[in-house]
Amino acid sequence: MRNLNEDTITQAVLERNSGMKDSRLKEIMASLIQHLHAFARETRITEAEWEAGIRFLTEVGQTCSPTRQEFILLSDTLGLSTLVTAQNHRKPPGCTEATVFGPFYVDDAPDYELGADVGNGMHGEPCFVSGQVRSITGEAIPGAKLEVWQADSDGFYDVQKAGGPQQGRGTLHANSAGRYHFQSIVAESYPIPHDGPVGRMLEAMGRHPWRPAHLHFMVSAEGYETLVTHVFRDGCQYLDSDAVFGVRSSLIANWVRHDAGTGPNGTACSTPYYSLAFDFILNPVADAARRSA
Ligand code: BEZ
Ligand code: FE
């Protein structure tokens, strides 16, 4: 293959890859190459612009660390994460909808008994969260595992603060009636990390970095599709402009504010506190397998 030009280069690259053994990888690479080339043709990208793009991606990579995943922020802010989530988690009506995972989950969150304070000293107004985990067919799912994580009232997750205790995250198990409850702090809106290349990209695009107030959940039980989702706080000003496009109307709940007094678990609250009730409806695995086929 010689003398390739702007009309023949795409086909030449595809042919060079024709011997790939992994047929799925071959399909993905062929599509990626064709779309990348189409993008360069459509925009008639200049060398200076191409170099700026390479510099940007280099900075995205250099910004990544064990506690900072800039590529996930890039995927999230370009809507790619929501697209991937949506097409991999089609659920029957009535199931709790999935939304973006985000970069702040950890898989060794502390175990808590029902009713415990997963805030674990995190700064913020108390919030009492409760609900039930059920199947789409209505029956309770005893012992369902709930992993929860959230930012503090300043908008930071514990993993963003080097060396501190695990706060605002925990693993609980629903009781024999599928019910769960725990204490934490009320979620507030916060900006995604925007002091790096993705933040500069958002600014260049005239966009803000804010996410509406939310609690993250991962809910799992044997025989059911694992649900990764959020519960959003009704009334938040960023519900219609989430920086990462994660809001779904069905996930917005009323976080009820109460005057200072005794919380639902008997805890004395010297400040106003909130309560949130939210049920999770899981999709049986057989149905999940059929829908993604
Ligand atoms: C989060 O909600 O934790 C999050 C999601 C996407 C990007 C950054 C943060
Ligand atoms: Fe979050």
Tell the residue nearest (CA) to atom 4 of ligand 1. 102
Q: Which residues line ligand 1 (CB under 6 A)?
A: 73, 76, 100, 102-104, 192, 211, 244
Helices 23-43 and 9-16 cross at an angle (nearest 10°) of 170
Contact (CB, 8 A) for 191 and 155: yes
Question: How does pLDDT run across 254-269, given as a tens digit for each residue?
Answer: 999 999 999 888 888 8
Question: How does pLDDT run across 225-254, given as a tens digit for each residue?
Answer: 999 999 999 999 999 999 999 999 999 999
- Centre of ligand 1 to C-alpha 224, Å, is 25
Ligand 1 atom with the smallest distance to the CA of 149 is 3
Question: How does pLDDT run across 67-106, given as a tens digit for each residue?
Answer: 889 999 999 999 999 999 999 999 999 999 999 999 999 9
> Quick one: which ligand is closest to 192's CA?
1
Q: Which of 82, 83, 99, 100 to mutate to test the pocket of ligand 1 (most atoms within 8 A of CB)?
A: 100
Query: Is the confidence at residue 288, as pLDDT, over 60?
Result: no
Using DSSP bridges, classify how beta strands 179-185 and 214-220 pair: parallel, antiparallel or unpaired: unpaired
Question: How does pLDDT run across 153-183, given as a tens digit for each residue?
Answer: 999 999 988 788 899 999 999 999 999 999 9
> Quick one: which ligand is closest to 194's CA?
1
Answer yes or no: pTM beyond 0.85. yes
- Centre of ligand 1 to C-alpha 273, Å, is 25
